[in-house]
């Protein structure tokens, strides 16, 4: 499903030629319209008529109102089930575009061309689509695989550093849960740049795709990919509710720090292992000030997590570097302790 990392657009053009869609719709946000769409259009060779659909950039636009607007636009363009939607952008575009495509007329074909590191290594892979609702991340969505994912690392050069760092968090997660060597390779990077991170993108993609192939509907092992996300998503949702947008990867890094400490409190890893992991995570990521959020607020959002069972918060935690456990129910006191650990280490408090 995933094309090799390549600067050539031949594989994309071959796919469109063989598919022979009746119409192509290209979904972009204002950033990818400016920085990435000219490259795509300059290399895309097809006689198929196409339309450009642009939305504003930002997680706050990944909601039902935007989805409704996109459904209406597809209808106005007389989009039929032989049409193709190309999602050109980061995680918001691939999540939202995949959701709209999978629900419009019960599903039209779509492909993802991720333009961010987060999109390349995580969001565009796995067939999860979704929108946020009532400040809850991806609470509404579908399981729908893109027809193809085409990855062109040249797009990383268009990213601000914060976006590059955001995607790097998911790569670090892949190493921690599934591949100790990948983790070691990543923490050996001294300065994060498109050049230094590009050699490791393929391995991160392989890790996620392998997990998804084993468990597409997230009934067992795919839950391991949620390491760092139970707490991370809750904090991200609270920031979103307060009107502050924090990059997804920074919240995941916070979540991984907390959940690594929680893994120690639950006696799954020893204290030295937790210290080493947290030390490296803090080397790449700034502390987030979450003093405005009480533990009870964070826990309340966590209880709404999609992966919970019978009202119990279920975690994916580490039992070593390179391996994880899922569906893990934690001691409530330990959850509070790990949140306090992060807050106490925050120099802004």
pLDDT digits (tens, 9 = 90+) for 84-118: 999 999 999 999 999 999 999 999 999 999 999 99
User: Using the 8-state DSSP alphabet, how is residue 198 labeled?
Assistant: G
* Neighbouring C-alpha atoms within 13 Å toward the C-beta of 303: 10
pLDDT given at position 309: 75
pTM above 0.85, yes or no: yes
Is pLDDT above 70 for 318?
A: yes
- Supply the mean pLDDT for the chain: 94
C-alpha 226/C-alpha 201 separation (Å) is 19
List the one residue out of 225, 227, 251, 226 whose CA is nearest residue 238.
Answer: 251
Give yes or no for a contact between 136 and 301, defined as CB atoms under 8 angstroms apart: yes
Is pLDDT above 90 for 348?
A: no
129-165 per-position pLDDT tens digit: 999 998 888 999 999 999 999 999 999 999 999 999 9
- Predicted confidence band at 307 (pLDDT cuts at 50, 70, 90)? confident
240-262 per-position pLDDT tens digit: 999 999 999 999 999 999 999 99
Share of the chain above pLDDT 90, in %: 92
Residues 6+ apart with CB under 8 A from 91: 114, 116, 118, 119, 122, 123, 124, 248
Is pLDDT above 70 for 347?
A: no
Is pLDDT above 50 for 284?
A: yes
């Amino acid at each position: 499903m995933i094309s090799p990392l390549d600067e050539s657009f031949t594989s994309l053009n071959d796919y469109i030629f063989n598919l022979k869609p009746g119409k192509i719709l290209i979904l972009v946000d204002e950033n990818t319209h400016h920085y990435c769409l000219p490259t795509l259009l300059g290399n895309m060779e097809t006689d198929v008529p196409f339309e450009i659909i642009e939305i504003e950039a930002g997680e706050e636009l990944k909601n039902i109102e935007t989805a409704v607007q996109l459904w209406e636009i597809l209808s106005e363009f007389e989009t039929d089930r032989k049409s193709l939607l190309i999602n050109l952008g980061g995680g918001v575009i691939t999540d939202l575009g995949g959701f709209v495509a999978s629900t419009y007329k019960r599903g039209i074909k779509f492909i993802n061309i991720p333009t961010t590191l987060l999109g390349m290594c995580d969001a565009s892979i796995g067939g999860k689509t979704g929108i946020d609702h009532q400040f809850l991340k991806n609470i509404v969505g579908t399981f729908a695989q893109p027809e193809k994912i085409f990855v062109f690392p040249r797009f990383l050069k268009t990213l601000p550093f914060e976006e590059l760092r955001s995607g790097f968090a998911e790569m670090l997660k892949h190493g921690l849960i599934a591949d100790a060597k990948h983790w070691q390779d990543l923490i050996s990077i001294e300065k994060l740049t498109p050049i230094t991170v590009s050699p490791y993108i393929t391995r991160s993609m392989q890790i996620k795709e392998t997990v998804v192939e084993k468990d597409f509907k997230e009934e067992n092992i795919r839950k391991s990919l949620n390491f760092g996300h139970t707490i991370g998503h809750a904090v991200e949702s609270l920031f979103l509710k307060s009107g502050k947008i924090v990059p997804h990867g920074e919240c995941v890094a916070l979540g991984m720090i907390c959940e690594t400490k929680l893994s120690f409190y639950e006696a799954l890893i020893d204290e030295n292992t937790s210290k080493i992991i947290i030390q490296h995570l803090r080397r790449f990521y700034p502390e987030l000030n979450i003093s405005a959020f009480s533990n009870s607020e964070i826990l309340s959002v966590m209880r709404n997590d999609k992966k919970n069972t019978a009202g119990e918060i279920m975690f994916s935690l580490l039992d070593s570097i390179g391996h994880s456990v899922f569906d893990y129910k934690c001691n409530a006191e330990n959850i509070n302790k790990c949140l306090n650990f992060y807050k106490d280490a925050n120099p802004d408090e």
